[in-house]
Amino acid sequence: MNVESTRGLAPRVSLAAAAMCSLALAACGSTASNAGSDAGGAASTTAAKPAGGTTPWCGTKPITLGIQDGGGLNGWSKSSLQQIQLEAKKCPAIKKTIVVNAGFDLQKAISGTNSLVAQGANAIVIIPDAGGPAELAGIRTATAHGVKVVPWGSNPGGTPGKDYVTYVDWDPTAAGRTWATWLAKSMKEQGNVIYLGGPAGNAVDKGERAGVIETFKQYPKIKLVTGTNPDSWPVTNWDPAQSQKVMSGLLTRYPKIDGILMGDGQSSAAVVKVLKAAGRPIPPVATLEANQVACSWKAEDGTSDSFELATISGRNWMGRLAVRKAVAAVNGIANDEKSIISLPLFEDSVAGGDLAPHCDSTRPPDAYMSNDLLSQETLNGLTGAAAGAE
Amino acid sequence: MEETTSRRLADGLRRRAQPGPFTAIWAAAVLLFAVSPALASGSVGASALKAMLPFAGILAIAAVGQTLVVQQRGLDLSVPGTMSLAAALVTRVPHGNSDRLALALLVVALAAAACGVVIGLLVTRMGVTPLVATLGVNALALGAVIKITGGSIANTVPANLSRFGDRTVAGVPVLALLAVALVGTVSWLMHKTVAGRRFELVGANPAAARVAGIAVARYQLGAYVAASLCYAAAGVLLASLTSAPSLFAGNPYLLPTIAAVVLGGTSLAGGRGSVVATAVGALFLSQLDQVLLASGSDSAVQNLIQGSIVALGMGLRNVPWARVLRSGPGRSAGAGGAQPGARPSAASPQPTRGASAPLVQEEIK
């Protein structure tokens, strides 16, 4: 992203304006470097693991790895890129990596894929969340040029094995089942549950809701008060401010709320804030991991506003799996790790112990702790990799 | 003589009693609050209002800025960029340290002022259309947000700012009170000071204002700077309310600010405007949001109802009601009935021009 400087228009005033802008950017300078060191800290934690060697997936063919993110403008994207780059460093055959972010702009995403092919990428890992199925045409074109493409994190549709190598992701329906089962136990199998979703019609929420609705059928005393249509939900756009607004409206409608389910950790923290401000009891919350919601849990632990929390990993580490599969495909090496993975709970305040929520107040609110905390053994167990594989 | 005085008084009272361009939104807001309990029980209860008012306050503050620009015949598309930049700066500069909040607020104010100055200079000195100038600065501000944050807001706001956002005074959210204070101050400045009256004149008729010796460019530039400061204030308050704002926190505020201005009755042709009516428009939109959410309607239905009400509100405003009512039932279907589409658009600028004419004379004198 280029931020062009504006040329002076009227000498004195524009000089003053420029000075103000400089001051604004300068004031951020120290914090920006801190953020950098924070990221570095996270990286060094993982980099401490044995890096490289000729791993079973790496092969010997020189690789130019294209990394594309349909978004690229949030903490989740940053963590994902970091995971991908760490995995790429393990393979000496990867001679070059090219990173392209689309900023959720479909046109940029499609031209980004084309530019990766034009720059000689022979393996591409892509998060097609700028347009989902609309990005499939670009992916097909890359595949037609002999590039091994592995989409992950957002389903582009199409046919794995034909339009691209394979699709790597969690199983959102399984996640819905896991959340709903935990919530049912935490609610003693009765009460009103509120489900808050992301943008209208998105595939992730549809999958999650299918699992939630299916599971709650086993608990007749639990009512999903925000509706049981798998394709419709209160829309928060996964935005904390919008989540606060939506939750405020729902508080009015439902005087008794016994459980909350939503697929965005940071927005869950905003929802907890609304409940607390309204003086309402905070029910058990099942969501995706985020440092901020874990810290909200920790802040309230032992107080009258304490609540139970369960999260599933933000799954940025699956970017590593996507790299392994793409590079292995270039070399014609069979990679038998799972592509679609059912994730267990990463944090569970009820179970406690190692599963107690992990708050690190020195890390950003949108830090995804599972990337650093899940052991290699656990990850191998999830992906079905051979023991000892890195 | 006495008869003349009493006639003048009666005329004045009649004029005041007549619905002006800014009264419709009051009626709409009263009606909405009246029917809210029927649509969603509890939607005007204390807890519901307490949850809705901070968001209404933030929208009202941003919409005040938009009103000022619209009064100067512009339309400001830099709302998302400036709000997001302010939210990012007030989060990143203090780095969680409450002691650095004052510095952060200063940086926010300077950055917002810089945005306003750049837009103002582009519009007044280089003759760039406000739409293009504000769109450009919006892109620059969003680019600055990405540059500053590196793509992720890595902090929550300082604790003292977060506590401020949650505060209430006598049960009323402090953010709503701030909005009331700002709206009151701007309204007073507009109606009770010479500068305010001149500001309206410049918007209504820049040529006449120039002839009258008013520094037109200065007022126009001032409008953009003041507007940017309003957006920045809204961005800071939004950050205080959410603690950890998203990267482009201001994005959802562009269209609502324009809708609040137009629903409030400020003419897009420039000139007369009412920040009070705009604030009521913001309150109306926020309550509409709340009621639709609380009614449990589907998100698609919510969007349809919201869009229809806003479109209807704007459309009804352009109907020449006085003429329609004068013509009476049955008669309007005659000659006038053949041109319902053309009449509102032709008639709409007239009240603004008519209203601004005495002002022009007054200023020239």
Question: Which residues in chain A have their CB less than 8 angstroms from residue B154's CB?
Answer: 31, 35, 38, 75, 364-366
**Residue-by-residue DSSP string for A205-251:** HHHHHHHHHHHHTT-TTEEETT---TT---B-TT-HHHHHHHHHHHH
Residue A292 contacts B where some CB pair is shorter than 8 Å? yes
Strand B168-169 and strand B172-173: the pairing is antiparallel
Q: How many Å lie between the alpha carbon of B87 and the closest alpha carbon of chain A?
A: 12
Which chain B residue lies closest to A13 (C-alpha atoms)? B117
How far from the centroid of its chain's Cα atoms is residue A160's Cα? 22
Residue B145 contacts A where some CB pair is shorter than 8 Å? no
Give domain limits for chain B: 40-317+356-364
Question: Which residues in chain B have their CB less than 8 angstroms from residue A8's CB?
Answer: none
A235 to B238: CB separation less than 8 angstroms, yes or no: no
Which chain B residue lies closest to A244 (C-alpha atoms)? B242
CB burial string A170-196: b at 16+ within 10 A, e below? bbbbbbbbbbbbbbbebbeeebbbbbb
Residue B122 contacts A where some CB pair is shorter than 8 Å? yes
Strand A285-288 and strand A259-262: the pairing is parallel
Q: How many Å lie between the alpha carbon of A139 and the closest alpha carbon of chain B?
A: 25
Q: 3-state DSSP call for residue A127? A: strand
B104 to A364: CB separation less than 8 angstroms, yes or no: no
Q: How many Å lie between the alpha carbon of A111 and the closest alpha carbon of chain B?
A: 20
Tell me how long chain B is.
365
Residues 301-360 of B with CB under 8 A from A: none
pLDDT of residue B9: 60
pLDDT tens series, chain B, 365 aa: 555 666 666 665 555 555 667 788 898 899 999 999 888 877 888 888 888 999 999 999 999 999 999 999 999 999 999 999 999 999 999 988 899 999 999 999 999 999 999 999 999 999 999 999 999 999 999 999 989 988 777 778 999 999 999 899 998 999 999 999 999 999 999 999 999 999 999 999 999 999 999 999 999 999 999 999 999 999 999 999 988 888 889 999 999 999 999 889 888 888 888 999 999 999 999 999 888 888 877 778 878 887 888 788 777 777 776 777 777 655 443 333 333 333 333 333 333 333 333 343 343 33
**How many other C-beta atoms lie within 10 A of the C-beta of residue A222?**
22
- A195, A196, A244, A248: best mutation site toward chain B, by most B Cβ within 10 Å? A248
Q: How many Å lie between the alpha carbon of B143 and the closest alpha carbon of chain A?
A: 6
A14 to B121: CB separation less than 8 angstroms, yes or no: yes
Residue B90 contacts A where some CB pair is shorter than 8 Å? no
Distance CA B287, CA A63 (A): 56
Which chain A residue lies closest to B286 (C-alpha atoms)? A245
Token digits of residue B321: 């009601």
Give tens-digit pLDDT for B321-353: 677 777 765 544 333 333 333 333 333 333 333
B42 to A252: CB separation less than 8 angstroms, yes or no: yes
Residues 173-232 of A with CB under 8 A from B: 200, 226-227, 232
A253 to B295: CB separation less than 8 angstroms, yes or no: yes
The DSSP code for A260 is E
A10, A240, A274 ranked by CB distance to B125: nearest: A10
**How many other C-beta atoms lie within 10 A of the C-beta of residue B247?**
20
Q: How many Å lie between the alpha carbon of B241 and the closest alpha carbon of chain A?
A: 8
Q: How many Å lie between the alpha carbon of A116 and the closest alpha carbon of chain B?
A: 22
Distance CA B264, CA A86 (A): 55
Q: What are the distances in angstroms from CA B277 to CA B28, B181, B258, B283?
A: 11, 14, 13, 10
B114 to A21: CB separation less than 8 angstroms, yes or no: yes
pLDDT of residue B232: 98
**How many other C-beta atoms lie within 10 A of the C-beta of residue B45?**
15
pLDDT of residue A203: 81
Residues 329-368 of A with CB under 8 A from B: 364-366
How far from the centroid of its chain's Cα atoms is residue B81's Cα? 16
pLDDT of residue B13: 54
Residues 91-110 of B with CB under 8 A from A: 92-93, 95, 103-104, 107-108, 110
Which chain A residue lies closest to B44 (C-alpha atoms)? A252
CATH 1.10.3470 fits B40-317+356-364, yes or no: yes
pLDDT of residue A356: 95
Question: Which residues in chain B have their CB less than 8 angstroms from residue A4's CB?
Answer: 140
Which chain A residue lies closest to B290 (C-alpha atoms)? A249
A31, A248, A366 ranked by CB distance to B290: nearest: A248
Residue B245 contacts A where some CB pair is shorter than 8 Å? yes
A253 to B296: CB separation less than 8 angstroms, yes or no: yes
B92, B152, B299 ranked by CB distance to A366: nearest: B152
Give tens-digit pLDDT for B219-249: 999 999 999 999 999 999 999 998 888 888 9
Torsion of CA A25, A29, A34, A36, to 10 degrees: 80
Question: Which residues in chain B have their CB less than 8 angstroms from residue A226's CB?
Answer: 296
Nearest to B280 by CA among B266, B292, B262, B264: B264
Q: How many Å lie between the alpha carbon of B130 and the closest alpha carbon of chain A?
A: 16
A270 to B243: CB separation less than 8 angstroms, yes or no: yes
Question: Which residues in chain B have their CB less than 8 angstroms from residue A364's CB?
Answer: 152-155
B47 to A251: CB separation less than 8 angstroms, yes or no: yes
Domains of chain A: 51-167+315-342 (3.40.50.2300), 172-288 (3.40.50.2300)
- A·B CB contacts under 8 A: 197
B289 to A24: CB separation less than 8 angstroms, yes or no: no
Nearest to B167 by CA among B62, B57, B257, B252: B57
CB contact set of B19 (below 8 Å; sequence gap of 6+): B321
A239 to B246: CB separation less than 8 angstroms, yes or no: yes
What phi, psi does A199 have (nearest 5°)? -60, 145
CB contact set of B138 (below 8 Å; sequence gap of 6+): B77, B78, B79, B80, B81, B82
Which chain B residue lies closest to A24 (C-alpha atoms)? B107
Token digits of residue B352: 């603004």
Residue B153 contacts A where some CB pair is shorter than 8 Å? yes
Question: Which residues in chain A have their CB less than 8 angstroms from residue B300's CB?
Answer: 200, 232
pLDDT tens series, chain A, 390 aa: 333 333 333 444 443 444 444 444 444 433 333 333 333 333 233 333 333 344 589 989 999 999 999 887 778 888 899 999 999 999 999 999 999 988 878 888 999 999 999 999 999 999 998 877 889 999 999 999 999 999 999 889 999 999 999 999 999 999 999 999 999 999 999 999 999 998 887 888 999 999 999 999 999 999 999 888 888 899 888 888 889 989 988 888 888 999 999 999 989 999 999 998 888 999 999 999 999 999 999 999 999 899 999 999 999 999 999 999 999 999 999 998 999 999 999 999 999 998 999 999 888 888 899 988 888 888 888 887 654 444
pTM of the model: 0.78
Question: Which residues in chain A have their CB less than 8 angstroms from residue B293's CB?
Answer: 234, 245-246, 248-250, 252-253
